[in-house]
Amino acid sequence: MLNPGEVAPAFSLTSDSGTTVTLSELLAQGPLILYFYPADFTPVCTAEACMYRDAASELAAVGARVVGVSPQNATSKAAFKSKHGLNFLLLADPGNEVGKKYGAEGWFGLPFGKRRLTYLIGRDGKVMDVVAADFRVSKHAAFVKQAIGRLNEQR
């Protein structure tokens, strides 16, 4: 897992619409809530995605946007996005290569599973804050509220 102050690793991934998206393109638009989740359509991941969907307008009001990343392909991302009315970008990370760079692998240090992590990344590409909670969406929801407050103070 990356720590606050570290530079977020660059990436280039396929979006739910099939286009290629880079971290630098995303950060050019402002701060980023970048979250890693294990899988589309699972109960906890769906609850988390819906929480981000519901917070997206509050984040936009402070100049931030949400982007979710998991190992499933772009077709799965498009179906997941459509089914749940998600209003933010989903990125496919087959093989979890980007997830590994961000520490989103292995629950509790074990060599299997995908971690549920949320990063707040500043426009400068540095990690401002991070939360890891593999099974509790409530910690990610509290993190988003704190991020909104922090970004609002910086405006």
Please list the active-site residues: 45
The partner residues of 151 in beta bridges, in order of sequence, read none
- What's the N-to-C CA distance of the chain in angstroms? 28
Residues 71, 94 contacting (CB under 8 angstroms): yes
HSE-up (13 A, CA, CB side) for residue 9: 14
Cα angle 55, 145, 29; round to 5: 60
For 149, the token pair is 């407050």
Instruction: Confirm if 1 and 130 have CB atoms less than 8 A apart.
Output: yes
Which residues on adjacent β-strands are paired with residue 121? 32, 127
How many other β-carbons are positioned within 10 Å of the β-carbon of residue 26?
A: 20
